[in-house]
């Protein structure tokens, strides 16, 4: 599995028994070095020259000022350079500047262009080499950590570093065109012209089944799991692109059948599944589903409406005839170990471990997707506000409630019964040490982000794992896509999308808009964009498209409306800026689709039914999971959509020196692309 922290990733690849070492910068959107999103300072900073979106509070600015003063740098020019080095903590890209190859640094990455001698790193060396600095940050980290190092000792760069080359290999990074590095002031991204929107998305239908979830097999093969809402998981084989074949999925032999435990109706059922990244070795996987307390005695969790969150279940009444917490949400672990060395193609329907059980106050908005974080291996669990118009109990903003949240659970460490008790956990999981409750004591320890209404489909960008995108279904007017970061508050119900929201009822109290700093959506659409009467609209979030099948969709974030009337492609300009614009894209079916698509006469869009979800397989191809079947994104030419990039890659044989692709923001030769595509697969 390819992984990268804030800075870059070293990936070891074995190709025909040759060891290839690739050092790949791995960029992030603006992010602070504590992994939280940048914010705007209410009062301007007095010391560091940063404004707008930044990573320092006034208190941190003041402490940098003190640190700087204590250095007692007499040389004016050098002092000004050192000040800009210290102040890089305030840059909105501080996570990128201070985290290189997953390790955090004392000194930010200093720009060090390989050509030209006057890079910022060279300037620091040339200007400061003989200047005395007290508690210099440029003392080698190994020296700093030695117990005998005197405090308040004065040193020159030349005391530690023999030459500019020495100094710049320790603190320098590649040129500002390719990477985020400190060039003396706020990081500015190269402003490339955004590519023109794709002319359309071409689909083929490969299965008639109706599924809510898809997960690529962690063994990297052409197989994937599909789960239906009723509670069955199937293991399917995906045909090669262009083969004209349907998907091989046998509905009579499910991989797992939980229909006896799962409560299935419009908003209930099997809502998520996740496979351990080492599934091929340990056979571990997880299912997230709803159950009915009156039908199964395994369905007996604490009610999410309780005195800790000022909610009295006896007062909230019944909802659609159901008692509060009659329906529950469950995450359970299963095994596909039939004692052979390979995971079996049929799993045991017996729970290995109950991860979580929680009673739902109402019958709506309970998300239920689960994902394993590509860099941390933790389980992310998406849950809505629990239902009711306008989140009447204000659960989504309540830091003690787990409703309306994204949770992050450690499923690789077993908690002791004492820990379950002490932290009031809802099941058998541990709390990751860096969950945001360590920064905000009011938060329940499971919480990663708050202020969600009903997150419907989140994904991690397979090329840049720090892009954790979550679509959140709106109330009356606005459907949104959020870029989710640690400790983020996505606003509901103080806001619906970017607009203030006033709830019709607030028996659970009200959160004032002034008391929170919401992070607004990066993309979205108004109900009026899909429906003239501001009627039904419901977002379904997708993935960043990273396949080479449709080069005109590369790097776009795809999403759609459940009612299948529209799909969008979002593009980020400049790359890594977190600034997105999205355009509606037409879509249709290839005429030679393995299973012919149906069209309603007079309608240009194929009749997909509801778009429940998107999926991504091990070749990074995209799938639309609709109520009418499974659709795959195919080359645009199969629908007569024009895409000049496609012609460039299909009509001429690939010549490594001309053909390039873009991974991790790096333009690579096609050979490296294939190598990369391969390693991203394994």
Which spans of this chain sit near ligand NAG (rule: CB under 6 A)?
Answer: 51-52, 70, 72, 74, 112, 114, 129-130, 151-152, 164-165, 168-169, 172-173, 194, 208, 246, 282-283, 337, 339, 351, 353-354, 420, 427-428, 502-503, 506, 510, 512-513, 573, 577, 579, 581, 591, 595, 639-640
Distance in angstroms (rounded) separating the CA atoms of residues 436 and 37: 12
Shortest distance in whole angstroms from residue 16 CB to ligand NAG = 29
We find the least distance from the C-beta atom of residue 667 to ligand NAG, in angstroms, to be 19
Q: Are 330 and 357 spatial neighbours (Cβ–Cβ below 8 Å)?
A: yes
State the nearest-atom distance from the C-beta of 371 to ligand NAG, in Å.
Answer: 21
Residue placing its CB nearer to ligand NAG in the complex, 70 or 190: 70
* C-alpha neighbours within 13 Å on the C-beta side of residue 556: 28
Q: Which helix (H) or strand (E) holds 505?
A: none
3-state secondary structure of 35: coil
With respect to ligand NAG, which residue has the nearer C-beta, 339 or 655?
Answer: 339
Question: Quick one: 323 or 337, whose CB is closer to ligand NAG?
Answer: 337
Tokens of 43: 């009062």
Distance from C-alpha of 239 to C-alpha of 548, rounded to nearest angstrom: 16
Cis omega before residue 94 (within 30°)?
no
Integer CA distances (angstroms), 611 to 367, 425, 560, 562, 635, in order: 15, 35, 7, 5, 21
In this structure, the number of other CB atoms found within 10 A of the CB of residue 12 comes to: 9
Of 74, 77, 32, the residue nearest 55 (C-alpha): 32
Nearer to ligand NAG, 1 or 352 (CB): 352
**Complex with ligand NAG: residue 208 or 294, whichever CB lies closer:** 208
CB of 479 to ligand NAG, least distance (A): 20
Contact yes or no for 169/590 (Cβ under 8 A): no
Query: In this complex, which beta carbon is closest to ligand NAG, that of residue 168 or of residue 235?
Result: 168
Task: Determine whether 529 is exposed, middle or buried from the number of CB atoms within 10 Å of its CB (0-12, 13-18, 19+).
Answer: middle
Instruction: State the Cα–Cα distance between residues 14 and 682, nearest whole angstrom.
Output: 11
Residue of closest CB approach to ligand NAG: 168
Nearest approach, Cβ of residue 606 and ligand NAG (Å):
11
Of 267 and 524, the one with the shorter C-beta distance to ligand NAG is 524
* Nearest residue to 210 (alpha-carbon basis) of 283, 138, 155, 269: 269
Q: Shortest approach of ligand NAG to residue 678 CB, angstroms?
A: 26
Q: How far is the CB of 583 from ligand NAG (least distance, A)?
A: 10
Task: Pick between residue 515 and residue 657 the one whose CB is nearest to ligand NAG.
Answer: 515
Smallest gap from residue 641 Cβ to ligand NAG (A): 9
Least spacing, CB of residue 79 vs ligand NAG, in Å: 11
Q: Answer yes or no: are the C-beta atoms of 444 and 431 closer than 8 Å.
A: no
Identify which of residues 65 and 337 has a Cβ nearer to ligand NAG in the complex.
337
CB 209, min distance to ligand NAG, A: 8
Nearer to ligand NAG, 414 or 667 (CB): 414
Contact 4, 26 (CB under 8 A): yes
Q: Under a CB-based contact definition with an 8 Å cutoff, are residues 293 and 327 in contact? A: yes
Residue found under tokens 């708050």: 450
Listing DSSP states for 404-432 in one string gives: TEEEEEB-SSPPPHHHHHHHT-SSS-B--
């Amino acid at each position: 599995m390819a992984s990268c922290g804030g800075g870059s990733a070293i990936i070891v690849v074995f190709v025909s028994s040759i060891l290839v070492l690739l050092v790949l910068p791995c960029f992030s959107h603006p992010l602070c070095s504590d992994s939280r999103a940048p914010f705007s300072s209410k009062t301007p900073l007095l010391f560091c020259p940063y404004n707008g979106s930044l990573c320092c509070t006034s208190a941190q600015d003041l402490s940098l000022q003190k640190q700087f003063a204590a250095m007692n740098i007499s040389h004016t020019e050098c002092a000004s350079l050192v000040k800009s080095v210290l102040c890089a903590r305030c840059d909105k890209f501080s996570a990128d500047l201070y985290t290189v190859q997953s390790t955090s640094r004392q000194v930010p990455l200093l720009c060090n262009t390989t050509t030209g001698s006057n890079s910022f790193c060279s300037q620091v060396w040339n200007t400061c080499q003989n200047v005395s600095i007290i508690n210099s940050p440029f003392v080698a980290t190994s020296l700093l950590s030695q117990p005998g190092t005197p405090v308040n000792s004065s040193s020159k760069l030349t005391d530690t570093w023999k030459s500019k080359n020495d100094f710049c290999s320790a603190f320098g990074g590649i040129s500002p065109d390719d990477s985020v590095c400190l060039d003396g002031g706020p990081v500015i991204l190269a402003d490339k012209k955004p590519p023109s929107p794709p002319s359309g998305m071409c689909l083929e239908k490969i299965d008639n089944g109706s599924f809510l979830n898809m997960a690529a097999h962690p063994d990297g093969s052409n197989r994937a799991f599909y789960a239906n809402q009723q509670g069955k998981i199937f293991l399917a084989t995906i045909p090669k692109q262009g083969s004209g074949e349907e998907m091989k999925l046998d509905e009579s032999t499910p991989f797992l059948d939980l229909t006896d435990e799962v409560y299935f109706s419009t908003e209930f059922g099997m809502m998520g599944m996740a496979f351990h990244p080492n599934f091929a070795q340990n056979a571990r996987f997880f299912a997230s589903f709803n159950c009915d307390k009156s039908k199964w005695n395994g369905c007996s969790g604490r009610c999410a409406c309780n005195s800790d969150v000022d909610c009295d279940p006896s007062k909230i009444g019944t909802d659609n005839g159901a008692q509060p917490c009659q329906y529950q949400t469950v995450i359970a672990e299963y095994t596909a170990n039939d004692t052979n060395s390979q995971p079996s193609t049929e799993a045991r329907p017996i729970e290995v471990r109950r991860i979580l059980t929680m009673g739902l106050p109402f019958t709506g908005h309970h998300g239920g997707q689960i994902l394993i974080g590509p860099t941390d291996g933790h389980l992310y669990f998406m849950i809505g506000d629990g239902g009711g118009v306008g989140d009447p109990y204000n659960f989504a903003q309540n830091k003690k409630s787990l409703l309306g949240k994204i949770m992050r659970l450690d499923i690789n460490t077993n908690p002791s019964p004492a820990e379950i008790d002490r932290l009031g956990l809802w099941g058998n999981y541990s709390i990751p040490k860096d969950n945001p409750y360590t920064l905000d004591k009011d938060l329940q320890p499971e919480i990663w982000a708050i202020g969600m209404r009903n997150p419907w489909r989140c994904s991690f960008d397979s090329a840049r794992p720090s892009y954790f995108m979550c679509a959140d279904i709106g109330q009356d007017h606005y459907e949104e896509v959020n870029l989710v970061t640690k400790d983020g508050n996505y606003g509901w119900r103080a806001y619906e999308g970017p607009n203030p929201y006033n709830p019709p009822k607030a028996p659970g109290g009200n959160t004032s808009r002034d008391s929170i700093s919401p992070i607004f959506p990066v993309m979205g659409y108004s109900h009026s964009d899909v429906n003239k009467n501001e009627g039904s609209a419901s977002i379904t979030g997708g993935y960043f498209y990273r396949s080479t099948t449709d080069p005109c969709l590369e790097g776009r974030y795809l999403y759609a409306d459940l009612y299948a009337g529209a799909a969008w492609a979002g593009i980020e300009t400049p790359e890594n800026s977190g600034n997105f614009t999205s355009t509606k894209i037409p879509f249709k079916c290839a005429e030679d689709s393995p299973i012919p698509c149906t069209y309603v006469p007079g309608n240009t869009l194929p009749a997909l039914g509801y778009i429940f979800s998107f999926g991504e397989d091990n070749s990074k191809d995209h799938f639309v999971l609709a109520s009418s079947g499974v659709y795959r994104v195919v080359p645009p030419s199969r629908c007569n959509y024009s895409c000049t990039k496609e012609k460039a890659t299909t009509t001429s044989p690939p010549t490594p020196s001309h053909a390039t692709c873009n991974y991790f923001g790096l333009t690579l030769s096609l050979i490296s692309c294939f190598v990369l595509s391969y390693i991203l697969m394994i």
